[in-house]
Homo-oligomer: A and B are copies of this chain.
Amino acid sequence: MPSVIDRSPVQIAVSSGGASPVLARLLRARLETMIPASYGKLADFVASFRDKVKQRFSFDERRRFWESVLQGPIAEMLLSGHTQAATKALEDLIGQKKALGQKYGEVYLVGGGPGDPDLLTFRALRLMQQADVVLYDRLVSPGVLDLVRREAERIYVGKEPTHHPVPQGEINQLLIRLAKEGKRVLRLKGGDPFLFGRGGEEIETLMDEGITFQVVPGITAAVGTSAYAGIPLTHRDYAQSCIFVTGHLKDDSMDLNWEALAQPHQTLVIYMGLRGLPVISRELIQHGMPPDKPAALVQKATTSDQRVLVGTLETLPGIVEAADIKLSSIIIIGDVVSLHEKLAWFTVVK
């Protein structure tokens, strides 16, 4: 099949008759999503070096030179705001008169969002499309992983709630080694890398080694869940603040500040709380939260496997147990949960 690119949106529109403006606009919308807004900056940067490069290189050399620059880390430095570093690297490169090739590797720490690939950011997808190697784990949805460049090497460093197939220290070392080999390494995480993503721990070691990196925020699971389950995290009438914790069980208990969590007028969001839900429910009630406080567990929010189970602080553990939930889930406790009935708009039809 011929690539659609060989036909401009205008040509497609003409051939499609009555639907032409619509199809052309849809295509344009799709194209717009694909071009980073900062490409203009890149064009200006390139223009500012035109004369220097022309003096130094032959016509053929110039083509190769710009290819290596525009597809490589220098362009990415610039697009991610490292203007000085990009300028210096380009000047070095012109001085050395050799193609940079892959001398500098770098690491992209990227949030893959809550599951629906439609909730990826432009920046995330762009980096996914130019990575040489991708390290991902269990919390990255298959639909998101599908959008990684086909040629990229994929390394599963999956994390299960109960055991880590690849220990954190090894992941850190792997990132360093790959970057030092000159690769563009994408560390892809579910949700956001800096909110229960251990992203801080991973890039701290990179920094020690002087490796360039950038961090791309993602829609964190709580926020994606909130939107797709119709449960606002804050609401003037119900909750003026919101607290995020992990409900990771250690020896059947949790090291949480229950008293602070049981406060009124706030929404409590618990990541990784499925197994610990009975403990959470018991402790919060013991620390003064009303047993009839609305509570919900949302499985695989934003995907076609989304399920929303609603009950109270007291009844939710039983409801969840009966429903045989096993997958990634978010627990939301607070009066805002009562809005779900009214605000639910995302329905999954199998």
Interchain CB contact under 8 A, B204 and A228: no
Residues of B within 8 A of A53 (CB): 18-19
**A41 partner, pick from B1, B18, B117, B203, beta carbons under 8 A:** B1
Q: Which residues 1-46 of A have a CB within 8 angstroms of B? A: 1-5, 7, 12-13, 15-19, 21-23, 25-44, 46
> What is the count of identical protomers in the complex?
2
Interchain CB contact under 8 A, B47 and A207: no
Number of interface residues of A (CB under 8 A): 132
Q: Which stretch (A285-293, A311-319, A322-330, A336-344) binds chain B?
A: A336-344
Cα A149 to Cα B82 with chains together (Å)? 26
Interchain CB contact under 8 A, B219 and A121: yes
Interchain CB contact under 8 A, B70 and A23: yes
Chain A to chain B contacts (Cβ below 8 Å), 7 pairs: A12-B43, A16-B43, A18-B46, A19-B46, A19-B62, A37-B118, A217-B226
| Chain A interface (Cβ < 8 Å from any Cβ of B) | 1-5, 7, 12-13, 15-19, 21-23, 25-44, 46-47, 49-51, 53-54, 62-63, 66-67, 69-71, 79-84, 111, 113-114, 116-123, 125-126, 129-130, 143, 146-147, 149, 192-196, 198-201, 203-204, 207, 212-220, 223-224, 226-228, 230-236, 240-246, 255-257, 260, 263, 265-266, 304, 336, 339, 342-343, 345-349
